[in-house]
Amino acid sequence: MAQNRLASERKRFEPGFLRERIESSLRRLRTDYIDLFMLHSPPVEVLQNQDVHRLLIDLRDAGKIRYLGVSCDDVASARAALAWEEIDSIQVPVSLDYREMLPEILPMASSRGVGVIAREVFAGGRLRDHPAIRQLSVQRPGLQWFEFALQFVQQMPEVSTVVIGVTTRAHLNANLNALASQPLPQELMTQFRCVT
């Protein structure tokens, strides 16, 4: 019951509801401001709603939010987020398996100075069996699939940071080591960025 309530509330974007939730988060976190407030996968119409814009700008101007962002699921919502001048950051899926954001959204964010948080870089763990990974294992034996998957996204010039999904300490350590290892050569980045 409580889970159902949370699941449905998670998808509510009315300004009054958002204000109440932000204020109660501040109280629970015992803090005066939220560093980065991101709307979680809103539909395009929410991103075009002037009342939502006004609310978040008011909260930012009041010092309760420092930066505004939107977590987007597809190109249409990322485009709508970037059309909003006040947005500081977008969170988008980017991986060897999901390149829809590459041609338009990443360059647009970069040219506007909007931070890009890339997520689902392992395609939820399914990348291990991707054809590009099989091709890579022939071309560069020894380079682990997760190392390539992570570096491939993290090294994109438009990407500010990555969110990685891990539930095991072993994967966390492996990913931290991957991030600290030698960068991928540029020709590999170019080759796989262009793979369709």
Can you give the binding site for ligand NAP, defined by CB under 6 A? 40-41, 71, 73, 91, 119-125, 146, 163-168, 171, 174-175
Residue 22 vs 123, nearer CB to ligand NAP: 123
Residue 81: is it exposed, middle or buried by C-beta count within 10 angstroms (0-12/13-18/19+)? buried
As measured in angstroms, the least distance from the Cβ of 73 to ligand NAP is: 6
Return the residue matching tokens 């939010």.
65
Find out whether 103 and 130 touch, Cβ atoms under 8 Å.
Answer: no
155/152 Cα distance (integer angstroms): 6
Residue 154 vs 175, nearer CB to ligand NAP: 175
As measured in angstroms, the least distance from the Cβ of 134 to ligand NAP is: 16
Residue 110 vs 144, nearer CB to ligand NAP: 144
Task: Say which amino acid occupies 150.
Answer: L
Chain residue whose CB lies nearest ligand NAP: 165
Nearest to 121 by CA among 149, 84, 90: 149
Residue 127 vs 188, nearer CB to ligand NAP: 127
56/127 Cα distance (integer angstroms): 37
Phi, psi torsion values for 185, nearest 5 degrees:
-65, 150
- CB-based contacts of 44, cutoff 8 Å, min separation 6: 76, 77, 80
As measured in angstroms, the least distance from the Cβ of 114 to ligand NAP is: 16
As measured in angstroms, the least distance from the Cβ of 124 to ligand NAP is: 4
Round to the nearest angstrom and report the end-to-end CA distance of the chain.
44
Residue 174 vs 189, nearer CB to ligand NAP: 174
C-alpha 56 chain-centroid distance: 20
Residue 147 vs 158, nearer CB to ligand NAP: 147
As measured in angstroms, the least distance from the Cβ of 18 to ligand NAP is: 16
As measured in angstroms, the least distance from the Cβ of 194 to ligand NAP is: 22
